[in-house]
């Protein structure tokens, strides 16, 4: 890799890929620990302070609203020791967390870690397909638009992007179902299990993501193509294609990749809505249900996972930028 870099970018050697990696990873590791503790503590405090009797909520989550009465609530309270002091419950949770034990769901009785594993697979699958789709749609369109700023493509793509970004994912999803399932009958409206089920929820998420990434790519392209080094590459006789590949692509990629980090928030947020709309059994869906049922271990586990996922994804973005941008590897 270094040899290739050296050949392509001139004679000066770039710092090795591993250089300065510790500076990226160490703070992130600390951050992960802090996020785990903060998220867990916050969910604990918030769930405890939610109005209403937890025992009734959990009983309703387990046995259904029609079966809830004082006796069922008392049975739940005794079984789960809900009347123990909050501090004691908190400390025992913290102890379990240190032993990497997330406990059992209060509703289903299954270990939280097992449930999360199952749910996370579904969510990550959906998010990955959505991200891939958005990368195929957004940046190429943005680059094409950025090469001719103010052109027809640029203006049309800006209008479409604004419209898509303004539509809440819920409405966008409904429109897609109406178009592709009800009117055209090409795709299943909701559900999961077959690959065709991926298309509509992933597209709903991807369109919102692509709307933003196409604009970011467009602005980056405009900036790069207007820069002195880009102009120089043309002056020294490189064709449009070669200039773009050698001097444009890597520079344009940086803001797009860096912006991905921000987009993950949209993705994680969107997953909650989209999963509910498309009956997708993922982690966002589970979080909503766990909160309704006051399933504390499940809320903590889900929120923890989402928090850590966010840190992990951002670390991934950092590492990718670290690889792309040799300046970051300078000692």
Partner 1 sequence: MPSPRRLLAGLALATTLISPPLLAESRPLAVVAPWEITGSDPATSGYIFGRMGIAETLVEVDAEGRLTPGLASDWVVDGAGLSWRFELRDGVVFHDGTPLTAEAAADSLRHAWAKPGMLDSAPITAIEVDGDAVVISLEAPFAPLPALLTHSTTQILAPAAYADGGRVEAMIATGPYRLTELAPPQRLSAERFADYWDAAPAIEAVSYLAVGRGETRALMAESGDADIVFTLDPASRGRLARDEGLALHAEPLPRTIVLKVNAGHPFLAEEAARRALSQAIDRRGIAAGLLRDPEAAAPELFPASLGPWHLGLDGEAGGDPTSARASLEALGWQANDRGVLERDGTPFRLTLTTFADRPELPLVATALQDQWRELGIDLEVAVSNASAIPSGHRDGSLELGLAARNYGLVPDPLGTVLEDFGGDPAQPGGDWGAMHWSDAEVSAWLDTLRQDADPELGEELAGRVAARLNRAMPVIPVAWYQQTAAVNAELEGFSIDPLERSYRLEALTWTQ
The residue from 26, 38, 178, 262 that contacts partner 1 (CB under 8 A) is: 178
Candidate segments 18-26, 69-77, 149-157, 230-238, binder of partner 1 by CB under 8 A: 69-77
Q: Do 197 and 275 meet the contact criterion of CB atoms below 8 Å apart?
A: no
Element (H, E) at 295: none
Q: Per CB under 8 A, does 181 bind partner 1? A: yes
In a 3-state reduction of DSSP, which class is residue 24? helix
Q: Per CB under 8 A, does 108 bind partner 1? A: yes
Residues 248 to 287: which contact partner 1 by CB under 8 A? 276-279, 281, 285-286
Candidate segments 36-44, 50-58, 251-259, 314-322, binder of partner 1 by CB under 8 A: 50-58
- Name the nearest CA neighbour of 122 among 312, 283, 299: 283
How many residues lie near partner 1 (CB under 8 A)? 48
Helix and strand numbers, DSSP H then E, in the chain: 14, 0
Least distance (Å) from partner 1 to the CB of residue 65? 6
Least distance (Å) from partner 1 to the CB of residue 198? 15
Q: Which is nearer to partner 1, 193 or 237 (CB)?
A: 193
Tokens describing residue 55: 């025992």
Q: Per CB under 8 A, does 193 bind partner 1? A: yes
Q: Do 144 and 220 meet the contact criterion of CB atoms below 8 Å apart?
A: no
The residue from 40, 139, 169, 188 that contacts partner 1 (CB under 8 A) is: 188
Tokens describing residue 67: 């079966």
- Name the nearest CA neighbour of 140 among 132, 151, 130: 132
In order, the DSSP letters of 235-287 are HTT--HHHHIIIIIHHHHHHHHHHHHHHHHHHHHHHHHHHHHHTT--SHHHHH
* Contact mark string toward partner 1, 152..171, x via CB under 8 A: --------------------
Q: Do 76 and 62 meet the contact criterion of CB atoms below 8 Å apart?
A: yes
The residue from 36, 62, 208, 303 that contacts partner 1 (CB under 8 A) is: 62
Positions touching partner 1 (CB under 8 A) are 51-53, 55-57, 59-73, 75-76, 107-110, 174, 177-178, 181-182, 185, 188-193, 276-279, 281, 285-286, 289, 292
């Amino acid at each position: 890799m270094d040899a290739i870099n050296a050949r392509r970018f001139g004679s000066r050697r770039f710092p090795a890929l591993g250089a300065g990696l510790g500076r990226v990873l160490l703070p992130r590791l600390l951050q992960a620990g802090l996020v785990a503790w903060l998220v867990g503590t916050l969910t604990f405090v918030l769930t405890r302070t939610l109005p209403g009797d937890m025992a009734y909520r959990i009983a309703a989550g387990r046995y259904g609203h029609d079966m809830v009465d004082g006796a069922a609530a008392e049975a739940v309270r005794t079984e789960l020791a809900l009347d123990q002091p909050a501090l004691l419950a908190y400390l025992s949770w913290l102890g379990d967390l240190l032993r990497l034990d997330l406990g059992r769901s209060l509703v289903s009785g299954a270990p939280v870690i097992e449930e999360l594993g199952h749910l996370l697979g579904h969510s990550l699958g959906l998010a990955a397909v959505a991200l891939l789709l958005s990368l195929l749609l957004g940046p190429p369109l943005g680059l094409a638009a950025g090469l001719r700023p103010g052109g027809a493509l640029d203006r049309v793509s800006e209008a479409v992007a604004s419209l898509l970004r303004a539509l809440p994912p819920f409405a966008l999803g409904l429109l897609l179902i109406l178009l592709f399932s009800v009117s055209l009958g090409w795709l299943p409206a909701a559900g999961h299990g077959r690959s065709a089920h991926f298309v509509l929820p992933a597209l709903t998420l991807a369109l919102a993501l692509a709307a933003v990434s196409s604009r970011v790519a467009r602005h980056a392209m405009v900036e790069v193509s207007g820069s002195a080094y880009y102009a120089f590459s043309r002056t020294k006789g490189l064709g449009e294609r070669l200039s773009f590949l050698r001097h444009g692509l890597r520079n344009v990629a940086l803001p797009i990749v860096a912006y991905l980090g921000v987009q993950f928030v949209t993705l994680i947020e969107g997953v909650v809505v989209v999963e509910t709309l498309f009956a997708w059994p993922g982690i966002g869906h589970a979080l909503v249900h766990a909160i309704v049922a006051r399933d504390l271990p499940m809320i903590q586990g889900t929120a923890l996972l989402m928090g850590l996922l966010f840190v992990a994804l951002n670390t991934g973005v950092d590492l990718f930028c670290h690889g792309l941008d040799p300046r970051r590897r300078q000692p």
